[in-house]
Structure formats: C-alpha cells, structure tokens
Amino acid sequence: MKARFTITALVALLIFCAGYAALFIAPDEATMHAIQRIFYFHVACWNAMFCAFFVAFYASVAYLVTGKRKWDALGVSGVEVGVICCTIGLVTGPLWARPVWGIWWTWDAKLTSTFILWLLFIAYLLLRGLIEDPEKKASLSAIFAIFASLDIPLVYLANRLWRTQHPQPVIAGGQGSGLDPTMSKVLLLCLFAVFCVMLLVLIDRYRLEQLRNECAELKFEIESQGIDAFDGAATPALQKGGQ
C-alpha cells in the first residue's frame, strides 16, 4: 500500500513536470505558436494507446495459444485502457485542428482509420457484454481483438503512405522531419509521463478483471454446492429433495 502510494505520488510529480515543461519550457513553434503545445499531450496519448493495444494484441494471441484466463483479463484491460487513450487523442486532435485548420474534423486517411480503430475496440467491449459463457466470451474477444489490431499499422502509417490533412510525421518521418532539441526532450518527458499513467491504470484494470474472475469462481463454487449465491438459502430444488 505504501509502495503504491509512493509510485502514484512519483507519477503525479512526473505529470506536473511534464505539464510545466510542455507549457513553459518548450519553445514556441514558429507558425502555430502556443496551440502547438497540444502536440506534447496528443502524441503522448497516441503512444500510450499503441502500447495498450499492443498489450491487448499480445494477450489475445497468448490466450488463444494457452487458454489461460489471465491473458483474457490482460487483453480486456489493454483494450479498455487503449480506448481511453484513443478517446483522449480523438478529442485533443480536433482542439488543435480548429484554430490551425479552421475545421474540427476531416475524413482523411489518418483520422478516418483512427476513428475506425476506436469504433472497432468499442465494438469489442460491447461484444464482451453480450456473451455470457466465459470461455466463449474470452475466445471470441481474443479473435476480435486480433482482427481489430490489423488497423493499428494502418493508423500509424496512414500519413506516411497517403497525402493527408493530418501533419506529416516529425519523428522518423524521413527527410525534412525532426524536432528542435528542446522540443524533443520535452516530448520525451511527456511520452514517459503519459506512459506511466497508462501503465498504472492498466495495472489497476487488470487487478479488477482478476478480482471479477475470482468472484465468478466463488459464485460457481457456491452454485455447485447448491447454495443460492444471493441470500445463502438452499435452492428450491434441493429444499424439495432434489425433485
């Protein structure tokens, strides 16, 4: 508990430092000025999203190979946290686009593929809610997550493969790309801060899923012993002598 508190406090400090660096230390961009500073959180959230979805993809493959419930728990945790990061990215993007482009949204390859990715993983979460059988739920979810993950490389490569309204990549974007050294350091700090937040949230979400599994096992054990899981009374069938 004390270790957890210390880690949370350290991450909170990291968030504060990253925020301060993004708002006050990073130099003003020549054409966009202050609004460009959204970039530091926006890119960091996409990075966190890619990591979370990669965890979900890996866990889904591992579940299909091993059949162990812990991988299913990690898979759904990765997807849920990835959706949260994706939602933040989809909100902060238009907040940058409105003053710079004059429009909130455009259906270019980058934005459209990202929106489809978000819809796919929302569908994954809805799908899980519709299936009751745990084994079937875990298997279908894993297959669906692997299928949805096929969109991830497309999202990453969209502005490299096609001409998009979305800015061209500034990191590993080939000739002419690159960042001011101070901007690079601030970006690295923000990437690390948001990644740590994502990791903390992911660990908690995984713990929740494991507790849910434990709860389901207890309910199953109670039901198999013939105790009503809700009020502790014997089931009507047993009260009547099993007829």
Partner 1 sequence: MKNFEFLFTAWMVVWAVFFVYEVTVARRITQVREEIERLKQQLQQR
Q: Of 9, 10, 13, 34, which lies in the binding site for partner 1, with binding defined by CB under 8 A? A: 34
CB 21 within 8 A of CB 189: yes
**Apex 135 CA angle, 129 and 140, nearest 5:** 60
Per CB under 8 A, the list member of 25, 119, 204, 239 interacting with partner 1 is 204
Neighbour tally for 134: CB within 10 Å: 14
**41 scored as a contact of partner 1 (CB under 8 A):** yes
Q: Stretches 27-35, 108-116, 121-129, 132-140: which one binds partner 1 (CB under 8 A)?
A: 27-35
Least distance between partner 1 and beta carbon 39 (Å): 10
Of 45, 56, 183, 189, the one binding partner 1 (CB under 8 A) is 45
Separate counts of helices (H) and strands (E) for the chain: 8, 0
Q: According to CB under 8 A, which residues from 84 to 103 bind partner 1?
A: 84, 87-88, 91-92, 95-96, 98-99
Residue in this structure with the two tokens 């002598």, named with its chain if needed? 241
Binding residues among 55-84 for partner 1 as defined by CB under 8 A: 84
Instruction: Determine the interface stretch with partner 1 among 128-136, 157-165, 171-179, 201-209 (rule: CB under 8 A).
Output: 201-209
State the nearest-atom distance from the C-beta of 99 to partner 1, in Å: 5
CA dist 115 and 86 (Å) reads 9
**What is the SS3 assignment for 62?**
helix
Of 7 and 227, nearer to partner 1 (C-beta) is: 227
Among 7, 17, 35, 146, the residue binding partner 1 under the rule CB under 8 A is: 35
Residues 104 and 100: their CA atoms lie apart, in Å, by: 9
* Contact flags string 158-197 toward partner 1, x per CB under 8 A: ------------------------------------x--x
Mind giving me the DSSP string for 124-179? Answer: HHHHHHH--SHHHHHHHHHHHHHHHHTHHHHHHHHHHHS--SSPPPSSS--TT---
Does position 223 bind partner 1 by CB under 8 A?
Answer: no
CB of 88 to partner 1, least distance (A): 5
Closest CA to 121 of 200, 210, 57: 57
Task: End-to-end CA distance of the chain: give it in Å, rounded.
Answer: 50
Minimum Å distance from CB 229 to partner 1? 7
Phi-psi region of 13 (alpha: psi -120 to 50; beta: other; left: phi over 0): alpha
Footprint on this chain of partner 1 (rule: CB under 8 A): 15, 19, 23, 33-35, 37-38, 41-42, 45, 84, 87-88, 91-92, 95-96, 98-99, 194, 197, 200-201, 204-205, 207-208, 211-212, 214-215, 218-219, 221-222, 225, 227, 229, 232
